[in-house]
């Protein structure tokens, strides 16, 4: 594996990487007919200067360690989150007919949970994920692997002060809903059809106090079993798809 580069596995992840405008330094393609099957991705990567290497499947299997590589792995410079000024610029130019949907992760430090949250965010059509500069998982190769292409397709914005950034979101007309086990309202009773940001806290501790106080309202997932909470990435997926459900119903009239 080339030193200092992140590995990106699978057709969807590599396509998202290229569509994002990134240029991989190297591309490993499985020996055999994979080169023909993946010719579009290979040609695009090669046109951007990527070195092409044909390798046996066993080498890709060992490199991916169980991840679905689908015969292709790209190696590229590490990802870096966007700054908050980029977020404010995009919100100012937001099209009125599409209410923004943002995900805020407060204190999610586990890279596997971060990657899974990004994957759910991509599937639900989230427009951006906001993380604090401190107490947040890095956007590293493991996150990219778990996210299966979502780290390349969903913008991640890093903010210096999360409570201050949430106050700015309110000024921009974004309604902020936090999730907390002690909340009175169910997530299924909230209105998610307008411009909104969903806040998910760290496992165990949940949201920090200032984050909680910056929310407009709090909701919870009703728990019918013996466990008191869900894994943060699972809870994120459930909540986000409640947003999707409500927005689809509203769109149908």
The position carrying tokens 């360690």 is 65
Q: Which stretches within 124-231 are classed as H helix?
A: 141-147, 150-153, 162-171, 209-213
How confident is the model over 179-229, as pLDDT tens digits? 998 899 999 999 999 999 999 998 778 899 999 999 999 999 988 877 777
230 is in an annotated binding site: yes
| Residue 36, pLDDT above cutoff 80 | no
> Is residue 240 assigned to a domain?
yes
Claim to verify: residue 34 and residue 114 sit in the same structural domain: no
Claim to verify: residue 137 and residue 219 sit in the same structural domain: yes
Claim to verify: residue 59 and residue 162 sit in the same structural domain: no
How confident is the model over 84-126, as pLDDT tens digits? 999 999 998 888 778 999 999 999 999 999 999 999 999 999 9
Claim to verify: residue 114 and residue 167 sit in the same structural domain: yes
Q: Which of 192, 203, 175, 207 is CA-nearest to residue 239?
A: 192
How confident is the model over 139-170, as pLDDT tens digits? 988 898 888 888 888 999 999 999 999 999 99
Claim to verify: residue 62 and residue 127 sit in the same structural domain: no
CATH number at residue 131: 3.40.1280.10
Claim to verify: residue 87 and residue 185 sit in the same structural domain: yes
201 is in an annotated binding site: yes
The position carrying tokens 């009773």 is 189
Domain limits at 156? 82-252
Structural domain ending residue among the three candidates 20, 43, 76: 76
The position carrying tokens 């949940």 is 206
Q: Are 92 and 169 in contact (CB under 8 A)?
A: no
- Give the H/E segment covering residue 53: strand 51-55
Claim to verify: residue 112 and residue 215 sit in the same structural domain: yes
Structural domain ending residue among the three candidates 32, 51, 76: 76
Claim to verify: residue 100 and residue 47 sit in the same structural domain: no
Claim to verify: residue 49 and residue 95 sit in the same structural domain: no
Q: Rounded to an integer, what distance in angstroms lies between the CA atom of residue 215 and that of residue 198?
A: 9
> Is residue 1 assigned to a domain?
no
Distance of CA 16 to the CA centre of its chain: 13
Claim to verify: residue 152 and residue 39 sit in the same structural domain: no
Q: In the prediction, which pLDDT does 1 show? A: 64
Residue 85: Cβ within 10 Å count: 9
Claim to verify: residue 131 and residue 158 sit in the same structural domain: yes
Who has greater pLDDT, 34 or 13?
A: 13
Collapsed DSSP state (helix, strand, coil) of residue 61: helix
Structural domain ending residue among the three candidates 22, 56, 76: 76
221 is in an annotated binding site: yes
Q: Rounded to an integer, what distance in angstroms lies between the CA atom of residue 98 and that of residue 182?
A: 32
CATH number at residue 38: 3.30.1330.30
| Residue 245, pLDDT above cutoff 80 | yes
Q: Rounded to an integer, what distance in angstroms lies between the CA atom of residue 110 and that of residue 236?
A: 14
Claim to verify: residue 101 and residue 185 sit in the same structural domain: yes
Q: How many domains does the chain have?
A: 2
């Amino acid at each position: 594996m080339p030193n200092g580069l992140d590995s990106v596995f699978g057709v969807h992840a590599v396509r998202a990487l290229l569509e994002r405008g990134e240029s991989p330094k190297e591309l490993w393609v499985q020996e055999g007919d994979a080169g023909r099957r993946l010719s579009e991705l290979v040609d695009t990567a090669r046109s951007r200067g990527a070195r092409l290497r044909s390798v046996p499947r066993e080498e890709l299997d060992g490199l991916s360690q169980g991840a679905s590589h689908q015969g292709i792995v790209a190696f590229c410079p590490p990802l870096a989150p966007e700054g908050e000024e980029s977020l404010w610029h995009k919100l100012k130019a937001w099209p009125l007919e599409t209410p923004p949907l943002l995900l805020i992760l407060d204190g999610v430090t586990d890279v596997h949970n971060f990657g899974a949250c990004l994957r759910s965010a991509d599937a639900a059509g989230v427009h951006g994920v906001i993380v604090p500069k401190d107490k947040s998982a890095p956007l590293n190769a493991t996150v990219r692997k778990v996210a299966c292409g979502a780290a390349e397709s969903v913008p991640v914005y890093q903010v210096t002060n999360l409570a201050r950034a949430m106050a700015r979101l309110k000024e921009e007309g974004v309604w902020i809903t936090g999730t907390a086990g002690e909340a009175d309202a169910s997530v299924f009773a909230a209105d998610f059809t307008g411009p909104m940001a969903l806040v998910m806290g760290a496992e165990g501790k949940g949201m920090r106090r200032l984050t909680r106080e910056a929310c407009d309202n709090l909701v919870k997932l009703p728990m019918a079993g013996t466990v008191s909470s869900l894994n943060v990435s699972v809870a994120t997926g459930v909540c986000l798809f409640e947003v999707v459900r409500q927005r689809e119903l509203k769109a149908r009239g």
